[in-house]
Amino acid sequence: MTTEELNDLIRSRRSIYPPEYLDKEIPKDVLETILTNGTYAPNYFRTEPWRFKVLTGEAKNRLGRFLAEAYKANTPPEDFREKKYNKILNKGKKSGAVIAICMKRDPQERPKEWEEMAAVAMAVQNMWLTATQLGIGAYWGTPPAAAKAGKILPLDDGERCLGFFFMGYVENARRPDKRLPLNERVVWLDE
C-alpha cells in the first residue's frame, strides 16, 4: 500500500448509518478480519481490554428492540416520536452485523480506566478503517442504553459496554471529508 492509498483510506472513512446499508450479509470470515485488526491496537500493560460481542441474525434484531424500547421508556410522552422509535428499531435489522464494543477492566487496575477505554477506541478505529477498505459502512453509536446492555448481552465481571459498532455493505464506503486546517488544531514548539 502506498502512502497515498493509506492517506486516502484514513481520510475517506466516515460514519455511515443503517438506513443506507444494503440487504447483504457480512460473511463470518470478513467479520473475523475486521475483529482481528481491532485486536492489533496498542494497549497499555497488554491487557487487551476489548471484549467484542458479535450480533447477527435474531441477536441484532433483539438489540434494535432493546434500543427502541429504551428510547420509549426514557422519553416523555409529549416528545416521543413514532418515526424515531421505528428508525431505532430497524438499526439492528438493517445492519449486516453489529459488534457490541465492550471493555473489561484489568482486575489489577494497572492501566487507568481511561487508558483502557483509549485502547478500545483505537481497536474501533482499526475495525472502522478495515470495514471501509472492505466496502462496509459503519458507525459507532453510544446510546445511553449501552450502560444497560447487560440486559441483552453476556457481560463478565468488570465488563462494560461502550456502545455498538453498526455495519453494513454500502454502494460506496469511501467518502472523502474535510477537517479543519492544521493550524487551527496544531501548535509547533521548537524551543
Distance CA(170)–CA(131), nearest Å, equals 11
Q: Which of 21, 50, 52, 139 binds ligand FMN (CB under 6 A)?
A: 139
Q: Given CA atoms 52, 56, 60, 62 in this order, what sign does their dihedral have? A: negative
- Residue from 23, 177, 184, 190 binding ligand FMN (CB under 6 A): 177
Q: Does residue 171 belong to the site contacting ligand FMN (CB under 6 A)?
A: no
Task: Give the residue with the Cβ less far from ligand FMN, 25 or 175.
Answer: 175
Residues 63-102 that bind ligand FMN (CB under 6 A): none
Q: Which three cell numbers stand for residue 141?
A: 453509536
> Would you count residue 142 as binding ligand FMN (CB under 6 A)?
yes
Beta-strand ranges (E) seen in the chain are 50-55, 97-104, 136-141, 159-169
Using the rule CB under 6 A, is 140 a contact of ligand FMN?
yes
Near ligand FMN by CB under 6 A, which window of 25-33, 49-57, 64-72, 137-145?
137-145
Give the C-alpha separation, 186 to 179, whole Å.
Answer: 12
φ, ψ for residue 51, nearest 5 deg: -135, 115
User: Does residue number 141 form part of the binding site for ligand FMN (CB under 6 A)?
Assistant: yes
Per CB under 6 A, 15 contacts ligand FMN: yes
Angstrom distance (rounded) from CA 31 to CA 171: 18
116 with 48: CB under 8 angstroms?
no
Q: Which helix (H) or strand (E) holds 67?
A: helix 57-73
For residue 14, state whether it binds ligand FMN (rule: CB under 6 A).
yes
Which lies closer to ligand FMN via its Cβ, residue 32 or residue 113?
Answer: 113
In whole angstroms, the minimum distance from the beta carbon of 124 to ligand FMN comes to 7
Task: Rank residues 138 and 153 by Cβ distance to ligand FMN and give the closer one.
Answer: 138
DSSP 144: G
Residues in touch with ligand FMN (CB under 6 A): 14-15, 139-143, 177
